[in-house]
Amino acid sequence: MPSTLNAPTTTTAQEIMERLHLLAQHTEQEGMMTRTYLTAAHRGAAGQIAAWMRDAGMTVRRDAVGNVIGRYEGTEEGRAVLMTGSHFDTVRNGGIYDGLLGIILPISCVAAWHRAGKRFPFPIEIVAFSEEEGVRFKAPMLGSRAIAGTFQHAVLNNTDEQGISMRDAMQAADFDPAKISAAAAPKDSIAAFIEVHIEQGPVLLNEGLPLGIVTAISGASRFMLELEGLAGHAGTVPMNIRHDAAMAAAELALFIEQRCSNVDGLVGTIGQWQVPNGATNVIPGRCTLSLDVRAGDDAIRLAAVNDIETELARICSKRGVRSKLTKTYETTSATCAPWLQDGWRTAMALNNCTPRLLPSGAGHDAMAIATIAPMAMLFVRCGNGGISHNPAETMTTEDAGIAADVFMDFVENFDAVAAKASASN
Ligand code: GLV
Ligand code: MN
Ligand code: MN
């Protein structure tokens, strides 16, 4: 049976959309959605999220990496948690739905259950993960990795553009890096993790479907590359004797584009590209760039990375440029638990939704939590051609309502779906 609590869909949907817009006021850059780890905007958003969690009948705690965790207590002692959530940091000049939908939507659903006096045998925890995008300190998924117990302590030494280390930023914000290990969820304490997220692509939009069930999340390899050539006068040094670091980068970039094109699911991106101390009349002596390679199939991704490294060595030797390639992040692809995908299918059937299956090319907190608990994701259709990591990112109130209905039905049927899965094992 579809949930009778789902009746006030429009008010729940409107609340979700209003809150997403309200949260967008917590930004570092006026007129843009930018909220990076441990900034004033980040602190403001955390406070607002915590307040909404409390209003929804949840108890709220912060952990040592700044995750905001709301708990809606269950009725049975000792039951493992049904965990949900997503991240509340953003990329620079990004959208207002990426991550936030997966926090705000469950809070509104819990609020509806709280108003109706409904509790489940199991506790529900909504985690607003403090950091996923890796923007400020070039280290992604800090929040979900802390909960998964896979936080890489070396990244505490990473510095932001102002030279502030992550360790110092945490201490200044009253978070104790020495306590990060204690943020890890105890073994077997999470029954399942589910994440609602905008699709960040055009598949659902093009097929006229509001929701999709994610099958797996692509693995990723990320690097910073420093190229060092020789600065010189742009007017006097002949082309054939230059050691131009930016041209070496350009040649590598074109190789990456060609290598990653036409291989199913493989993508390569240079998202940051700087010529330190560059000037119009100076041959670039240095060039620093980021590199992000992803694929649903780990072997395909690793083969591409290997080829890129080989090509980098060839280009550098030919051009007399030195290179330093530093891996900043690597994660394998993560499969969404089939029994949880079935749970989405059941909930979608109750709401007359076609259960479209699709992979996720984007990374998500769910992939970090997948190392300690079964996980699954529900995608919600994006508008504007499916654009994301862009201020044009959008979705509709109607889709927020459908997603909330499906989320509520998923939770209400969770014990039945889990029992069916364990019976068939
Ligand atoms: C997160 O948005 C990522 O996929 O990089
Ligand atoms: Mn994102
Ligand atoms: Mn996201």
Residues 296 and 352 in one domain: no
Kindly state whether residue 95 falls inside one of the protein's structural domains: yes
Beta bridge partners of 380: 198, 211
pLDDT of amino acid 425: 78
Residues 148 and 27 in one domain: yes
pLDDT of amino acid 2: 53
> Could you report the per-residue pLDDT of 45-84, keeping only the tens digit for each?
999 999 999 999 999 999 999 999 999 999 999 999 999 9
**Which ligand gives the minimal distance to the CA of 99?**
3
Q: Report CA(236)–ligand 3 centroid distance (Å).
A: 48
Residues 224 and 199 in one domain: no
Q: Report CA(362)–ligand 1 centroid distance (Å).
A: 5
Kindly state whether residue 2 falls inside one of the protein's structural domains: no
Across the chain, what does the average pLDDT equal?
A: 96
- The residue segments making up the domain with residue 350 are 9-217+333-424
Kindly state whether residue 1 falls inside one of the protein's structural domains: no
Q: Is ligand 1 within 6 A of the CB of residue 141?
A: no
> Could you report the per-residue pLDDT of 99-141, keeping only the tens digit for each?
999 999 999 999 999 999 999 999 999 999 999 999 999 999 9
Q: Which residue has the higher pLDDT, 189 or 421?
A: 189
243 among the known binding-site residues? no
**Which ligand gives the minimal distance to the CA of 222?**
1
Q: Report CA(359)–ligand 3 centroid distance (Å).
A: 14
Instruction: Label residues 307-343 b or e (16+ Cβ within 10 Å = b).
Output: ebeebbeebbeebebebeeeebbebebbbbbebbbbb
87 among the known binding-site residues? yes
294 among the known binding-site residues? yes
Q: Cα–Cα distances in Å, from 168 out to 45, 71, 138, 156, 164?
A: 21, 29, 15, 8, 7
389 among the known binding-site residues? yes
> Among all chains, which residue has been given the structure tokens 């929040």?
143
Among 149, 148, 150, 100, which residue's Cα sits nearest to residue 126? 100
Q: Is ligand 1 within 6 A of the CB of residue 378?
A: no
Q: Which atom of ligand 1 is nearest to the CA of 361?
A: 4
Structure-block tokens of residue 402: 């459908």
**Which ligand gives the minimal distance to the CA of 100?**
3
Q: Report CA(139)–ligand 1 centroid distance (Å).
A: 11
Looking at the predicted structure, is the pLDDT value of residue 9 above 80?
A: no
Which residue's alpha carbon is nearest to atom 3 within ligand 1? 363
Assess contact for 13 and 111: CB atoms under 8 A: no
Structure-block tokens of residue 117: 């006096």
Looking at the predicted structure, is the pLDDT value of residue 6 above 70?
A: no
Looking at the predicted structure, is the pLDDT value of residue 3 above 90?
A: no
What pTM value is reported for the model?
0.92
> Could you report the per-residue pLDDT of 318-342, keeping only the tens digit for each?
999 999 999 999 999 999 999 999 9
Number of Cα atoms under 13 Å in the Cβ half of residue 177:
16
76 among the known binding-site residues? no
pLDDT of amino acid 372: 98
Q: Is ligand 1 within 6 A of the CB of residue 106?
A: no
Boundary residue ending a domain (331, 349, 369): 331
Which one of 98, 133, 330, 377 would you pick to mutate in the ligand 1 pocket, going by the greatest count of ligand atoms within 8 A of its CB? 133
Measured distance CA(133)–CA(292) in Å, rounded: 13
Q: Report CA(203)–ligand 3 centroid distance (Å).
A: 17
Rounded (5°) CA angle 374-106-390: 90
> Could you report the per-residue pLDDT of 140-150, keeping only the tens digit for each?
999 999 999 99
Boundary residue ending a domain (265, 296, 331): 331
Residues with Cβ < 8 Å from 295, sequence gap 6 or more? 218, 219, 263, 265, 266, 267, 301, 304, 333
CATH code for the domain of 29: 3.40.630.10
Three-state secondary structure call for residue 125: strand
pLDDT of amino acid 229: 98
Assess contact for 36 and 164: CB atoms under 8 A: no
pLDDT band at 424 (very low <50, low <70, confident <90, very high): confident
Assess contact for 377 and 194: CB atoms under 8 A: yes
Measured distance CA(288)–CA(256) in Å, rounded: 16
Which residue's alpha carbon is nearest to atom 1 within ligand 1? 363
Boundary residue ending a domain (331, 364, 382): 331
- DSSP secondary structure string, 255-320? HHHHHHTTSTT-EEE---EE-TT--TTEE-SEEEEEEEEEESSHHHHHHHHHHHHHHHHHHHHHHT
3-state helix, strand, coil in the chain (%, to 5): 40, 25, 40
Total of domains in the chain: 2
> Could you report the per-residue pLDDT of 235-278, keeping only the tens digit for each?
999 999 999 999 999 999 999 999 999 899 999 999 999 999 99
**Which ligand gives the minimal distance to the CA of 101?**
3
Q: Report CA(164)–ligand 1 centroid distance (Å).
A: 23
pLDDT of amino acid 8: 46
Q: Are strands 124-129 and 232-233 parallel, antiparallel or unpaired?
A: unpaired
Residues 92 and 141 in one domain: yes
Percent of the chain with pLDDT over 70: 98
CATH code for the domain of 326: 3.30.70.360
Measured distance CA(108)–CA(6) in Å, rounded: 11
